[in-house]
Structure 1
Amino acid sequence: MLKKLFGKKETPTEEKIFAPLNGKVVELETVPDPTFSQKMMGDGVAIEPTDGEVVSPVNGKVIQFFHTKHAVGIQSESGLELLIHVGLETVGMGGEGFEGHVKEGDKVKVGDPLISVDLDLVKEKAASTITPVIITNADVLENVEKKYTDGASRGEAEIMYTKVKK
């Protein structure tokens, strides 16, 4: 509080965001859905998953878990709000092929299981398995660095590095 009174700027909090899935990390702009590719919901990356186990990419708490289990929102300890949206047009599956492991209000750590999904069923019934990982409150960011790779390991590979304004 005193720092603000005397005009000194508080230092931003650094935060690493880890891969929620195994797979290839790609640019958000390549997602074949304008809601994500045009960053209407926020900035981030997307993952082309190689399996259907989704884990927490940060330490924080679950702030939203869709009843169809295709997407989860997490608020990190630094205040970042992340949306993990498994596949495209998966809401229409009505939860079929998705199993949730958390509920709203649960505290999570990097690597904790969030969702299990049958990727073969998603391939059959939805538009794509590509999974956007979006920072929905980008206004709190001082900057974000994205890291692309062909072989991210869930809970281990850093996919974004951010500085959050305090």
Structure 2
Amino acid sequence: MFKKLFGKKEAIKTVQIFAPVTGTAINLEQVPDPVFSERMMGDGIAVEPSEGEVVSPVDGEIVQVFPTKHAIGIRAQNGAEILIHIGLETVSMNGEGFEAHISVGDKVSVGDRLVSFDLELVKEKAKSTVTPIIITNTDNAAAIEKKAAGPVERGTSPVLEVTFD
């Protein structure tokens, strides 16, 4: 009993991942890019955005901001490494229409603003606006459970639950 009350703090093992964008959640199989649909980068879910605002899906730390601002890497408190990739083939836009509000090393909470983007410009210049949310270190995950399909709201709708041993 003493150890239970005063022992080492137990590490967070399971984390809820919330929608980083408002829109419609879809399965990765529906993403028109084999890198994502065939889970080459990891498992997850995707959202077809209805607005150009990306927020943090977890409490964690920013570990990567691509120079073109089209993708962000976050490490959740349980160790899950999450890639948010805004649109498909958006790297070719060279940052046009994207504005990052965070930097590598920033601590973030669910709902904190990460990136703003011009949704209409992405529709015009990229292959797709669909935004994959990928757990890139799935080899370390004990379980990844999809929580959403259909309409989701950024920062409030759970889309995935990830558990590490």
Q: Same fold (TM over 0.5)?
A: yes
Deviations 1:7-65 (A, max 9, x none): xxx99711100000001110001100000000000000000000010000000000000
**Residue 147 of structure 1: how far off its partner (Å):** 2.0
One-letter amino acid of the structure 1 residue matched with residue 21 of structure 2: L
Sort the Cα spacing of 1:66 and 1:161 in 2 relative to 1 into closer, same or farther, 3 A. same
Number of matched residues? 156
Separation (CA, whole Å) in 2 of partners of 1:104 and 1:31: 27
Taking only aligned residues, the RMSD between alpha carbons, in angstroms, comes to: 1.3
What residue is the counterpart of 1:144 in the other structure?
144
1:111 and 2:137 aligned? no
What residue is the counterpart of 1:54 in the other structure?
54
Deviations 1:66-107 (A, max 9, x none): 000000000001100000000000000000000000000000
Q: Write out the 4+ residue segments of structure 1 that deviate beyond 6 Å after TM superposition.
A: none
Q: Give me the TM-score of the superposition, normalised by structure 1.
A: 0.91
Unmatched tracts of structure 1, length 5 or more: 1-9
Is contact 1:24-1:148 (8 Å) kept?
A: no
Separation (CA, whole Å) in 2 of partners of 1:119 and 1:12: 35
Separation (CA, whole Å) in 1 of partners of 2:12 and 2:90: 36
What residue is the counterpart of 2:92 in the other structure?
92
One-letter amino acid of the structure 2 residue matched with residue 142 of structure 1: A
Sort the Cα spacing of 1:103 and 1:12 in 2 relative to 1 into closer, same or farther, 3 A. closer
What residue is the counterpart of 1:67 in the other structure?
67
Q: Give me the TM-score of the superposition, normalised by structure 2.
A: 0.92
What residue is the counterpart of 2:3 in the other structure?
none
Separation (CA, whole Å) in 1 of partners of 2:58 and 2:148: 18
Separation (CA, whole Å) in 1 of partners of 2:11 and 2:125: 46
What residue is the counterpart of 1:30 in the other structure?
30
